[in-house]
Amino acid sequence: MAIKSMWISTESDPTIQSDALHCGGKGKNLFFILQQGLRVPPFVVLNPNGNSPKNIDQVTLEWLKESLNFPEFVAVRSSAVEEDGANFSFAGQFTSELFVPWGDIDKAIKKVWDSKSNSQIATYCAEHKIPEPNNLAIIIQAMVESEVSGVAFGINPLTGNRNEVVISSLFGLGEGLVGGELNADTYLVGDGITTQKIAQKSESFVFNTLGAGTQRIPLPSIQQSQSSLNEQQIAEVAKVVQDLGKTLGKAQDIEFAYNGGQLFVLQTRPITGLYRLANPMGERILWDNSNIIESYPGVTTPLTFGFIIQMYESVYVQLCRLLGVSETDLTNNKELFANMLGLLNGRVYYNLLSWYKALALLPGYHLNAEFMEKMMGVKERFELKGLKKRTHWQERWRVLIMIRSMITNLRGLPKMRTTFQKEFEEVMLKYNRIDLNLQRAEELMVLYQEFEQTLLKKWKAPLVNDFFAMIYFGITQKMAVKYGLPEGIHNDLLCGASDIISTEPIHRIKRISTMICNHAEAKELFENKKADEILKSLPQFAEIHAEIKGYIDKFGDRCVGELKLETITYKQDNEAFIQIIQSYVRQGIQETQGPRIDIQMRESAESKVREHLKGKPIKRWLFHYFLKHTRIMVSARENLRFERTRGFGKVREIFVAMGKIFYAEGLIDDPRDIFYLKHTEIFDYIKGTSVTPELSELIAFRKQKYANYVEMATNERIETFGMVYHGNNFAQQKSNDILEGDLMGLGCCPGRVRAKVQVIHNPKEVEDLNGDILVTSSTDPGWVTLFPTASAILVERGSLLSHSAIVSRELGKPCIVGITDLLKRLKTGDWVEMDGSTGVVKIIASEE
């Protein structure tokens, strides 16, 4: 045999023994076990150094047998460089020969060597995208005639518990355990407690005394239900596997045997696939996108996420400060506010642990939590543990401070809103006068940083208004139930507001459609020409042109995904808006004469309240007081959110201009690649503080990842443990079971509709719904242009304060939100009957 190198278990050269290139992974690990002073059956490592074994040197082999005191039978195993590594075990891929008579050792060596060329090795390497091994060391090791054999894992490989050792063992040789042919005992060792699961064991593998190999024999009846390891042995094995893991720096998987009461470690290797195992003992976080998906649907690029996580941190620190949280508590919880959001598979989620911890800083935590859940559309409460305990008087004092702060802010809110909108408008006018395309990159950076302070530091009015909208809405809803008013009437009472900006785009598009339909030539143009042709001809129709231009100037940033910086808005793509108008014109959707449906609904609800509360002046006064303020707060909430849309639009313009500069300078391959960088990375590049100046390479990597994210399924709620991106499966946590019976959700706008459904994932998929029921996962303000063409609206996500709920009430469109498994149960063409008051959806017929 052309043996280039040979190492035996009595050598002490640590350089050679630790070299996997010479000894292979398995051989290296055996020498390491020896160095720890553990018992290992005698072994030798042969390295053919890439040459096929041909001539076996019998003299050398006989010398090895005698010098190492090898028994008559040995094991011949592979030891490739890649084998038994941290990432790939190659378990069962190479041939292992057990109980080989010394006279047949040359045949066994050849057989093990030849196994490196088998087809399953090629398949294994291809699946794991690793090169095939080009060399194979071979281990000859004495067989141990085990009384007990087993395997042990330094962590629980099923649950991922890093503090739990798992041991599996049986009587006799380990062949029955490794091959899965025999039942084995299982021991869980952790935190000083050992849990035993003793198997019923009827047989064992032993050495065949009549020839090579093994044989199965019946176990004595006394051993069949007896533990194969005693308490001392369990503790000994657990300590060995833990110590090896600590020394090697990775949790180990060992094979062991007991012979004559002594423990032999047969091999050790890192537990592979650890990256798939989250640590259940780590911090538990629930992630929820019930309501935030309205603002950030689909995947969200790094530029947007880096911007909004900073926004959320700043505004909620401000909110807590306004509500009386001390500066000490704010400082001590700085990390909490920096982690209000998460990005899982490219999608934005609320970090409920952070949200609830932030709420817990406020006096009256349980009341606040309930209101916040309604506002966010969260369906299940996240219970906090280990909350800071305060004395009775401390808590009372905090409540008094909060009440005083709330009263002060509530009284000053109208002025606060007016001042905010005035100052915000001044900032917008200033920035609108700047031609961003004429600025240098460093100038754009400064403009952004100045504008950011407006968004981050001066957001008091929207925050306070949102907070009180949440409280007043919740109180009004509770009062309606307490006073026995008709179910869902609080939704009807919120219809018909004349000052809510969310519905203005619809009314203005209807007005444009009416103007076009009343002009024969313009109507002909919009019905029969393409959008680009219409834009070229539009100046011929001065009034229509002015109306469209006015719409785009004011509402050009209000579109699907309007808060995502990467979104292409109507300001950037006028043709997309022209296509919306075309769909209205072709369907004949125009301004209607007479009273609006939403106003009729509101007046009807008010009449029912008057009738129900007749003769109850105090209750009537209280209810109307809270209803009045709820209407004001909810309308203002939508109007202030529109200012946020405008602010985000300006940030988008800044980075679009930045992308053009980076592209022109050859730094990125496409102007829109800028969205795959966080704003801090862009600025670091400009300032010379970047740790990754090769922007194109970084962008290419992220674009590939994001392309994968688009194809991944999403869950409304995700549970993670420990390090969020390590071992937690974001895609397969939700049950695939489909509930039978009626679909249920939150009724937002009353009315019964029986019609076909159209499942729409993006409003750009269709021009109109032709009276079908709109079914979708979530909506944002950009969907409103499609609402008038639907007979009703069903949404899988959302809450009573979500955009689709508010706008549907204004349009008088029956609507239900928060419908579990909606998109699993319905498909385009199905017939349903929905009731916007009760939140019930009945499936009448499925489209086969």
* Residues 326-342: tens digit of each pLDDT: 899 999 999 999 999 99
Query: How many Cα atoms sit within 13 Å of 656 on the Cβ side?
Result: 17
The predicted-structure confidence for 603-633, as pLDDT tens digits, reads as follows 888 899 999 999 999 999 999 999 999 999 9
Is the per-residue pLDDT at 291 higher than 70? Answer: yes
- C-beta of residue 558 within 8 angstroms of C-beta of residue 781: yes
398-407: Cβ within 8 A, 24+ apart: 398/324, 398/363, 399/363, 399/364, 401/324, 401/363, 402/323, 402/324, 402/362, 402/363, 402/364, 404/324, 405/322, 405/323, 405/324, 406/323
Which sign, positive or negative, has the C-alpha torsion 525, 526, 530, 535? positive
Comparing 203-207, 306-310, 493-497, the range with the smallest average pLDDT is: 493-497
Residues 715, 809, 619, 839, CA torsion sign = negative
Measure the CA–CA gap between 95 and 54, rounded to whole angstroms: 18
- Per-residue model confidence (pLDDT) at position 674: 98
If you average pLDDT over residues 468-492, what whole number do you get?
A: 88
3-state DSSP assignment of residue 829: coil
Crossing angle for the helix pair 617-664 and 441-457, nearest 10 degrees?
A: 170
Burial class (CB in 10 A: 0-12, 13-18, 19+), 428: middle
Band of the pLDDT at 669, cuts 50, 70, 90? very high
Locate 197 and state its tokens: 């699961």
* Per-residue pLDDT, 736: 45
Q: At what angle do helices 302-322 and 441-457 cross, to 10 degrees?
A: 30
- pLDDT, tens digit, 9 for 90 and up, residues 712-746: 877 888 999 999 998 888 875 544 444 456 898 88
Amino acid at 540: Q
Main-chain dihedrals φ then ψ at residue 167, nearest 5 degrees? -120, 135
Angle value at C-alpha 642, between 638 and 647, nearest 5 degrees: 145
What is the distance between the alpha carbons of residues 794 and 841, in angstroms, rounded to a whole number? 9
pLDDT at 14 over 50: no
More confident residue, 71 or 285: 285
CA 475/CA 380 separation, integer angstroms = 20
User: CA-CA-CA-CA torsion for 531, 537, 538, 543, nearest 10 degrees?
Assistant: -150
437: DSSP letter: G
> Going by DSSP bridges, is the β-strand pair 792-795/773-776 parallel, antiparallel, or unpaired?
parallel
**C-alpha span between 313 and 463 (Å, rounded):** 12
Q: What is the DSSP letter of 172?
A: B
Pair of tokens at residue 679: 């704003």
Q: How far apart are the first and last CA of the chain?
A: 69
Per-residue model confidence as pLDDT tens digits over 110-150 = 888 877 776 666 666 666 566 666 677 888 888 888 999 99
Look at residue 17 and tell me whether its pLDDT is greater than 70: no
For residues 583-614, b (16+ Cβ closer than 10 Å) or e, as one string?
A: bbbebebbeeeeebbbeebbeebbeebeebbe
Q: Would you say 785 and 505 are in contact if contact means Cβ atoms under 8 Å apart?
A: yes
Residue 669 one-letter amino acid? D
Q: What is the pLDDT of residues 31-66, one digit of tens each?
A: 889 889 999 998 888 876 655 555 556 666 677 667
Q: What is the mean pLDDT of residues 499-506?
A: 81
| Tokens (6 digits) for 834 | 């929905």
Helices (H), ranges, 504-596: 504-517, 520-528, 531-537, 542-555, 574-587
- Give Cα separations from 133 to 78, 122, 564 (angstroms): 11, 9, 47
Closest by CA to 144, choosing from 278, 251, 263, is: 263
Distance (Å, rounded) from C-alpha 759 to C-alpha 429? 41
List CB contacts of 79: < 8 A, sequence separation 6 or more: 23, 24, 25, 26, 27, 28, 45, 136, 137, 138, 139
Give the DSSP H or E segment for 612.
helix 597-612
Least confident range of 304-313, 428-437, 469-478: 469-478
Q: Torsions phi, psi of 387, nearest 5? A: -65, 150
How high is the pLDDT of residue 735? 45
pLDDT greater than 70 at residue 68: no
Q: Among residues of the chain, what percentage have pLDDT more than 90?
A: 44
**What is the C-alpha to C-alpha distance for residues 8 and 22, in angstroms, rounded to an integer?**
12
How far is 656 from 558, CA to CA, in rounded Å?
Answer: 17
Angle at 378 between CA 376 and CA 380, to 5 degrees: 155
Percent of the chain with pLDDT over 70: 84
The span from the CA of 200 to the CA of 197, in Å, is: 10
Taking the CB of residue 707, how many other CB atoms lie within 10 A of it? 11
Task: In whole angstroms, give the CA distance from residue 632 to residue 623.
Answer: 14
Residue among 406, 424, 457 at smallest CA distance from 641: 424
Q: E strands along 586-646, which residues? A: none
Average pLDDT, the chain: 84
Would you state the pLDDT for residue 229? 96
**Cβ within 8 Å of residue 835, ≥6 positions away:** 747, 750, 751, 752, 814, 816, 841
Q: In sequence order, which residues have a C-beta less than 8 Å from that of residue 638 and are 6 or more positions away?
A: 500, 501, 502, 803, 806
Nearest to 463 by CA among 289, 253, 637: 637
HEC string of 229-292 equals CCHHHHHHHHHHHHHHHHHHCCCEEEEEEEECCEEEEEEEEECCCHHHCCCCCCCEEEEECCCH
The residue behind tokens 């979104």 is 567
3-state secondary structure of 546: helix
What pTM does this model have?
Answer: 0.77
Give the pairing type, strands 773-776 and 752-759: parallel
pLDDT per residue over 380-408, tens digit each?
566 666 666 667 677 778 778 888 888 88
Write the pLDDT tens digit of every residue in 827-845.
Answer: 999 999 999 888 899 998 7
